[in-house]
Amino acid sequence: MSTGPSGAGRKGLRRLGLLLGLLLLLAAHAVTGWAEEPPRVLIEATEFTFNPKAVTVPAGDVVFVVQNRGIIEHNFVVETSGEEPVEVAVIPVLAPRETEELPVTLQPGRYRLLCALPGHTEAGMVAELTVTP
Ligand SMILES: [Cu+2]
Protein backbone atom coordinates (compact mmCIF):
# COMPACT_ATOMS: atom_id res chain seq x y z
CA MET A 1 0.00 0.00 0.00
CA SER A 2 2.63 2.49 1.02
CA THR A 3 5.42 2.92 -1.47
CA GLY A 4 7.99 2.26 1.25
CA PRO A 5 11.65 1.75 0.63
CA SER A 6 11.14 -0.70 -2.25
CA GLY A 7 8.90 1.83 -4.11
CA ALA A 8 11.51 4.54 -3.67
CA GLY A 9 14.14 2.12 -4.88
CA ARG A 10 12.14 1.35 -8.00
CA LYS A 11 11.75 5.06 -8.69
CA GLY A 12 15.49 5.48 -8.23
CA LEU A 13 16.16 2.64 -10.64
CA ARG A 14 13.86 4.16 -13.22
CA ARG A 15 15.70 7.47 -12.88
CA LEU A 16 19.02 5.66 -13.27
CA GLY A 17 17.70 3.95 -16.38
CA LEU A 18 16.68 7.28 -17.88
CA LEU A 19 20.08 8.73 -17.09
CA LEU A 20 21.84 5.76 -18.68
CA GLY A 21 19.65 6.07 -21.76
CA LEU A 22 20.50 9.73 -22.06
CA LEU A 23 24.20 9.00 -21.68
CA LEU A 24 24.03 6.32 -24.38
CA LEU A 25 22.24 8.74 -26.69
CA LEU A 26 24.92 11.37 -26.08
CA ALA A 27 27.67 8.83 -26.69
CA ALA A 28 26.03 7.76 -29.96
CA HIS A 29 25.83 11.37 -31.09
CA ALA A 30 29.46 11.95 -30.16
CA VAL A 31 30.43 9.07 -32.43
CA THR A 32 28.18 9.78 -35.40
CA GLY A 33 27.88 13.55 -35.11
CA TRP A 34 24.59 15.34 -34.47
CA ALA A 35 23.71 15.56 -38.13
CA GLU A 36 23.26 12.62 -40.45
CA GLU A 37 26.31 11.56 -42.38
CA PRO A 38 26.36 13.27 -45.78
CA PRO A 39 25.83 11.01 -48.79
CA ARG A 40 29.02 9.70 -50.39
CA VAL A 41 29.21 9.61 -54.15
CA LEU A 42 31.82 7.36 -55.74
CA ILE A 43 33.29 8.66 -58.99
CA GLU A 44 35.76 6.65 -61.06
CA ALA A 45 38.12 8.53 -63.34
CA THR A 46 39.82 6.77 -66.26
CA GLU A 47 41.14 7.76 -69.70
CA PHE A 48 39.04 9.65 -70.64
CA THR A 49 35.76 9.39 -68.83
CA PHE A 50 34.02 9.49 -65.49
CA ASN A 51 31.80 6.74 -64.18
CA PRO A 52 28.96 7.44 -63.58
CA LYS A 53 28.28 10.09 -66.23
CA ALA A 54 25.27 11.52 -64.39
CA VAL A 55 24.77 11.95 -60.67
CA THR A 56 21.80 13.23 -58.66
CA VAL A 57 22.09 14.23 -55.00
CA PRO A 58 19.88 16.18 -52.58
CA ALA A 59 20.93 19.74 -51.68
CA GLY A 60 23.26 20.10 -48.72
CA ASP A 61 26.44 18.32 -47.79
CA VAL A 62 27.84 15.62 -50.03
CA VAL A 63 31.22 13.91 -50.17
CA PHE A 64 32.64 12.98 -53.56
CA VAL A 65 34.96 10.01 -53.33
CA VAL A 66 37.02 10.23 -56.48
CA GLN A 67 39.17 7.31 -57.57
CA ASN A 68 41.72 7.67 -60.33
CA ARG A 69 41.61 4.21 -61.88
CA GLY A 70 43.53 5.35 -64.91
CA ILE A 71 47.22 5.29 -65.73
CA ILE A 72 47.85 9.03 -65.91
CA GLU A 73 47.20 11.99 -63.65
CA HIS A 74 43.74 13.58 -63.53
CA ASN A 75 41.94 16.16 -61.45
CA PHE A 76 38.37 16.77 -60.36
CA VAL A 77 36.39 19.99 -60.55
CA VAL A 78 32.81 20.70 -59.48
CA GLU A 79 31.44 23.75 -61.26
CA THR A 80 28.08 25.31 -61.98
CA SER A 81 26.77 24.63 -65.45
CA GLY A 82 25.70 27.41 -67.76
CA GLU A 83 27.17 30.33 -69.65
CA GLU A 84 29.67 31.38 -67.00
CA PRO A 85 30.59 28.37 -64.89
CA VAL A 86 31.70 29.03 -61.32
CA GLU A 87 34.12 26.64 -59.65
CA VAL A 88 32.59 25.16 -56.48
CA ALA A 89 35.24 22.67 -55.35
CA VAL A 90 38.44 21.13 -56.68
CA ILE A 91 40.79 18.21 -56.19
CA PRO A 92 43.86 19.72 -57.90
CA VAL A 93 45.74 16.48 -58.57
CA LEU A 94 44.79 12.81 -58.55
CA ALA A 95 47.73 10.52 -59.20
CA PRO A 96 47.06 7.15 -60.84
CA ARG A 97 45.50 4.71 -58.31
CA GLU A 98 44.89 7.56 -55.87
CA THR A 99 41.55 8.16 -54.12
CA GLU A 100 40.60 11.54 -52.66
CA GLU A 101 37.53 12.72 -50.80
CA LEU A 102 35.99 16.09 -51.58
CA PRO A 103 33.35 17.37 -49.15
CA VAL A 104 31.12 20.07 -50.62
CA THR A 105 27.90 21.87 -49.73
CA LEU A 106 25.61 22.27 -52.72
CA GLN A 107 22.62 24.44 -53.52
CA PRO A 108 19.92 23.00 -55.80
CA GLY A 109 20.77 23.32 -59.46
CA ARG A 110 22.76 21.85 -62.31
CA TYR A 111 26.50 21.35 -62.17
CA ARG A 112 29.30 19.75 -64.12
CA LEU A 113 31.96 17.40 -62.82
CA LEU A 114 35.07 17.49 -64.91
CA CYS A 115 38.77 16.89 -65.25
CA ALA A 116 40.24 20.26 -66.15
CA LEU A 117 43.61 19.05 -67.45
CA PRO A 118 44.20 20.27 -71.01
CA GLY A 119 42.05 18.31 -73.45
CA HIS A 120 40.59 15.94 -70.85
CA THR A 121 37.12 17.52 -70.62
CA GLU A 122 36.89 17.58 -74.41
CA ALA A 123 38.02 13.94 -74.53
CA GLY A 124 35.07 12.93 -72.34
CA MET A 125 36.04 13.51 -68.72
CA VAL A 126 32.84 15.31 -67.83
CA ALA A 127 29.71 14.26 -65.99
CA GLU A 128 26.42 15.94 -65.13
CA LEU A 129 25.46 16.67 -61.55
CA THR A 130 21.89 17.48 -60.58
CA VAL A 131 21.21 18.79 -57.08
CA THR A 132 17.58 18.49 -56.08
CA PRO A 133 15.92 20.82 -53.52
CU1 LIG B 1 41.90 13.86 -66.76
Ligand 1 center from residue 58 Cα (angstroms)? 26
Contact assessment for residue 112 and residue 87, using Cβ atoms and an 8 Å cutoff: no
Per-residue pLDDT of the chain (133 residues; tens, 9 = 90+): 555 555 566 777 777 676 666 666 656 655 555 667 999 999 999 999 999 999 999 999 999 999 999 999 999 999 999 899 999 999 999 999 999 999 999 999 999 999 999 999 999 999 999 999 9
Instruction: Report the 10 Å Cβ neighbour count for 68.
Output: 25
48 upstream amide cis, omega within 30 of 0: yes
Report pTM: 0.74
Report how far ligand 1's centroid is from the alpha carbon of 116 (Å): 7
E strand segments, 2-132: 40-46, 49-51, 54-58, 60-68, 74-80, 87-94, 99-106, 109-114, 126-132
β-pairing verdict for 40-46 and 49-51: antiparallel
Q: How far, in Å, is the centroid of ligand 1 from the Cα of 68?
A: 9
Q: What would the pLDDT profile of 73-93 be if each residue is shown by its tens digit?
A: 999 999 999 899 999 999 999
